Structure 1
Amino acid sequence: MDTILVIDDQADVRMAAIVALNQIGYQCIEAQGPEQALEIISSTAISLILLDMNFKLDTTSGAEGLRFLQQLQTLSANIPVVVMTAWASVDVAVKDCDFYNNCRP
């Protein structure tokens, strides 16, 4: 069974995503931030990551999410990532695409 890692600092967002994904047959694991997510990735086979881009209430830049993506790449983990944020920014989306160099609409 495919396992999806949901990374978000808001418990209600994680819960909503997990409930929806469980209903269609996916197993989910949750992490409240990048550090916890990296620990999970090092010990668990993950098929997909849902990643919030901001983890501090006063941060809307997406820098935390971009830093996580860089750390994920250094692990040579070839895991697809769907980024999400309440603070949508075209600039951050373009940085994500440039980082992976293979964005799909």
Structure 2
Amino acid sequence: MRRTAIIGALAALAIPFSASAASATTASPDAAEAFRYSFSCSSPEGAEANYSFADGITSTTLYYNNHCSAAFKVTLHFGAFEDCFSTPRGKSSAVFREGLISISKGC
């Protein structure tokens, strides 16, 4: 009887421990927040140019997937600095300086 009580007490202790261990692995303070943008194209109808990035320490990699029939221009905002980026058709990435804050359609 005493052995059953000890096993039950240990099981009760294991539940809170496993819950806190699971929540610790799902939220990492070191993980960079990813930003995603999507802009509609003029042609073909319904197509989009999609972008995502997470700011790095020394640079930012911008991932893009341009479904438009031609190059698509966006403005990259780096705080007080802006840069025009002509996105080629297809899926790839480009590396820029650190500090990319947002992306807007057109240049």
Question: How does the TM-score come out when normalised to structure 2?
Answer: 0.26
Question: How does the TM-score come out when normalised to structure 1?
Answer: 0.27
Counting helix residues as a fraction of each chain, which structure ranks higher?
A: 1
* Structure having the higher Rg: 2
Counting strand residues as a fraction of each chain, which structure ranks higher?
A: 2
